Amino acid sequence: MLTKRIIPCLDIKEGRTVKGVNFEGLRDAGDPVELARRYSDEGADELVFLDITATLEKRSTLIELVKRISTEINIPFTVGGGIKSVEEIEELLKAGADKVSLNSSIVKDPELINRASEAFGAQAIVAAVDAKQVSDHWDVFVKGGTENTGKDALKWMMEVEERGAGEILLTSMDRDGTKKGFDLELLCKVNECVSIPVIASGGAGTIQHCIDAILISNVDAVLAASIFHFKEIEISELKRALTAEGIPIRPS
């Protein structure tokens, strides 16, 4: 088994960290710079920063905030939200991001994955997929989860891999913020379809949920927000539990 990663996520709106349930009912979760520093100090393996209203508001990611956070942490840093071009990706990488997360823009223009991967390498390109169950399958949603594209999520994730994405950040909209556990059925199906790393997002509420996501669906990383923001679970505590289960992790 390859080394697994623990990744806190900062959902950003108007310069603050927020968290909701099923992409709705957002509440304030703190200052993103302070949270980023805390997670870096506590032993998080990576950090994800998502400017969740950038696409809806038709603006670019909050680049000054990205610069501030990058100076405070010493772990890999993924940034997403409203990124529409190779030029914007380059600007964010120069501002301190190690990877960029692309969602709505690559659904609209799939060739952006090819161009970005060719320009910066697959390791810098994360395809973010917000998936929601519709009948017996999962559809891809964009614009902060407000618009159903009608795309089949599994087929779309196979396509992003073929186009050069180096990783998939898969969020179950049905589980997001519910703390009822990850969508193991969806995660298992995805890992049958793709060979690039998959980050599980949406539903973390307990340590066991994270263990199950790794052992049952074989994801490469688990991402969580509220359980870390509000100190319901400490990163060090989670890492100790994973180690006890025989799951290889990076030392803090």
Give the pTM.
0.92
Distance of CA 123 to the CA centre of its chain: 14
The pLDDT-based confidence of 18 (bands split at 50, 70, 90) is confident
Residue 73: predicted pLDDT: 96
Distance of CA 115 to the CA centre of its chain: 21
Catalytic residue selected from 11, 45, 176, 183: 11
Q: Which residues of 59-87 are buried (b: 16+ CB within 10 A; e: fewer)?
A: ebbbbebbeebbebbebbbbbbbbbbeee
The pLDDT-based confidence of 240 (bands split at 50, 70, 90) is very high
Catalytic residue selected from 45, 51, 130, 183: 130
Domains and CATH numbers, the chain: 5-244 (3.20.20.70)
Checking if the pLDDT of 30 tops 80, the result is: no
Predicted confidence (pLDDT) per residue in 157-173, tens digit: 999 999 999 999 999 99
Q: Is 174 a catalytic residue?
A: no
Q: How far apart are CA 123 and CA 108, in angstroms?
A: 22
CB 176 within 8 A of CB 202: yes
Q: Is 176 a catalytic residue?
A: no
Predicted confidence (pLDDT) per residue in 63-85, tens digit: 888 999 999 999 999 999 889 99
